[in-house]
Amino acid sequence: MIVFHYDKTFEGLLTAVFDAYNRKTFPDKLLVTGDIEPLFIEESFTVVTDTDKSDRVYRALKKKMMPVTFNMLTAVWLSETENCDELLFRYIRKTFDSKVSIEMNFTDDDVLQMRNLAKKVNTERHRLIEFVRFQKTADDIFFAPVSPDHNCLPLVIQHFTHRFADQKWIIYDTKRNYGFYYNLKTAKEMTLENAGMFPDGKIDRERMAEDEQKFQKLWKQYFKSVTIRERINLKLHRQHLPKRYWKYLTEKQ
């Protein structure tokens, strides 16, 4: 068994692809730097992330793939599922080694897994766009906590910078303890020291703007007035609006 150690970044993974072809040895297992190795290994190699190497692999993949398939690579990486890095490595290797496109070869288990994982992440991305609820803070910043199953926050930031370009906002992933702050010009990644201040999906009243509670009350009243009780279907409702999002929805409080 050949083992590669890397820093668990996407650039590190692409560097591992470059080094594997350069060395003509391909890993059976990818481990994070410092992880305990299996008992029986033939060779162990530590990948040092190199942006020049990763950029070369990135550009080569972009030439070989359709744009939709190329975007799948990022989606699968952000899925954070177990061994998704090894799946990506195998898929990238098959892409380079094949003389014909493998993108539609769903008889290949790796190709099928890539498609299914990317689909799940894109579904989560659309739900994040639909179900984000901003709350206005006392310092005129609109704040929205989220906790998606997959790490799809980077995939929606462009949408929100275009949609809410005239106001300052923060979208914060409480599950992964990071978020993005938009300052009317650019959206920058950030972290909060006290990320546990909103466990129930709401910021503290002391941090809210004076009129925020009034607007939340009006929104709840509107939601209640348009509801037709005789047509309530909770099973269908949960199907289209998973319960894990409810704690962040003002109308569900």
- State pTM to two decimals: 0.87
Task: Provide the number of structural domains found in the chain.
Answer: 2
Rounded alpha-carbon distances, angstroms, from residue 230 to 73, 225, 227, 233, 252: 45, 13, 9, 9, 19
Question: What percentage of residues in the chain have a pLDDT greater than 70?
Answer: 97
What are 59-83's pLDDT values in tens digits? 999 999 999 999 999 999 999 999 9
Structural domain boundaries, residue 73: 2-124
pLDDT at residue 205 in the model: 77
Residues 110 and 153 in one domain: no
pLDDT above 90 for 187: yes
pLDDT of residue 208: 85
Average pLDDT over residues 212-225: 89
Q: What is the pLDDT of residue 247?
A: 86
pLDDT at 229: 87
Predicted confidence (pLDDT) per residue in 223-239, tens digit: 889 888 888 898 988 88
Same domain, residue pair 82 and 178: no
Last residue of a domain, one of 78, 99, 124: 124
Torsion over CA of 76, 107, 123 and 159, rounded to 10 degrees? 60
Q: Closest by alpha carbon to 38, among 4, 87, 80, 85? A: 4
